[in-house]
Amino acid sequence: MTTNDDRSRGLVGSGWHLPYNPNLKDRAKELKRNMTDTEKKLWYGYLKDCDRRFSCQHPIDNYIVDFYSASIKLIIELDGGQHYTEEGKTYDGERDAVLESYGLTVMRFTNTEVMEHFSAVCQDIQNLF
């Protein structure tokens, strides 16, 4: 449910949906149309047809998450090199804390893990069901 604090931060939502910034919808659509090779591999190779429904490039709060499953409250993030700078680590930590405050689990995989150890990544995700 959207609180007064959420509304003051420009977020909308309902009892059924997590709060999100409606200004991010167009950017999320653009990101979905232009997925990275790693995102495409995980989406088309596993998540699109797996046992749980996932959406890609989903706005939550003031963020766009790579993949989200509402039924198991799971966010999957794929991390490129920018996530391993000090600034990137700090931002990701703050972002994960906000997302986890909604009762969500955030799983992170490196692009290299997805591209070189695809089966293991899929099994790690499957283990959460």
Q: What confidence score (pLDDT) does residue 127 get? A: 93
| CA–CA separation, 128 and 47 (whole Å) | 13
Q: What confidence score (pLDDT) does residue 6 get? A: 58
Q: What confidence score (pLDDT) does residue 62 get? A: 94
Q: What confidence score (pLDDT) does residue 10 get? A: 66
How does pLDDT run along the chain (129 residues), one tens digit per residue? 455 555 557 677 666 679 999 999 999 999 999 999 999 999 999 999 999 999 999 999 999 999 999 999 999 999 876 656 778 788 899 999 999 999 999 999 999 999 999 999 999 999 988
Boundaries of every domain in the chain: 20-126
| CA–CA separation, 97 and 73 (whole Å) | 14
The model carries a pTM of 0.85
Q: What confidence score (pLDDT) does residue 50 get? A: 92
Q: What confidence score (pLDDT) does residue 27 get? A: 96
| CATH 3.40.1000.10 holds for 20-126 | no
Q: 58: phi > 0 → left, psi -120 to 50 → alpha, else beta; which?
A: beta
CA 18 to chain centre: 13
